[in-house]
Amino acid sequence: MQQQQQHRRMFTAALLALVFILAAVSTTEAGKKEKPEKKAKKSDCGEWQWSVCVPTSGDCGLGTREGTRTGAECKQTTKTQKCKIPCNWKKQFGAECKYQFQAWGECDLNTALKTRTGNLKRALHNADCQKTVTISKPCGKLTKPKPQGKFCLLKAA
């Protein structure tokens, strides 16, 4: 008889432990269901709209751009981001415009320049980029043809 009571107590204890575990799991699941509601509030914020990169000094190098977004529930609607403007021929197209360039063409002997064309690969930060660009650069040293037929005479002693 005493053994049966002991089994009942163990069974009751196990059953209570199971109920406790199930209650804890359901509470945890309820907590997880609340998180998507918080994310829904964040979706009220609009996408970031970025200004062009403005150099800190001069017309290229390190600079900043301003970002803004709309939304009544947004904690942050403006922010500043560091950026960089190339200090070479790329600055004429903007730092946010990325192009895929073809190989350089032959040297134009009249202008001493060679050119190549680039197609827009991607525009960063909603930049307004040209679809196709053409760039030129000096050909470099033009090699003169070596004269043919010169002989070196050796003096016999």
Regarding pTM above 0.75, the answer is: no
The whole-angstrom separation of Cα 34 and Cα 38 is: 7
In this structure, the number of other CB atoms found within 10 A of the CB of residue 151 comes to 5
**What backbone phi and psi angles, to 5 degrees, belong to 16?**
-65, -40
* pLDDT tens string 71-117: 888 888 899 999 887 776 666 677 788 889 999 999 998 988 999 99
The secondary structure of residue 4, as a DSSP letter, is H
* pLDDT tens string 14-51: 666 655 676 665 655 555 554 454 444 446 788 888 88
Say how far residue 11 (Cα) sits from the centre of its chain.
60
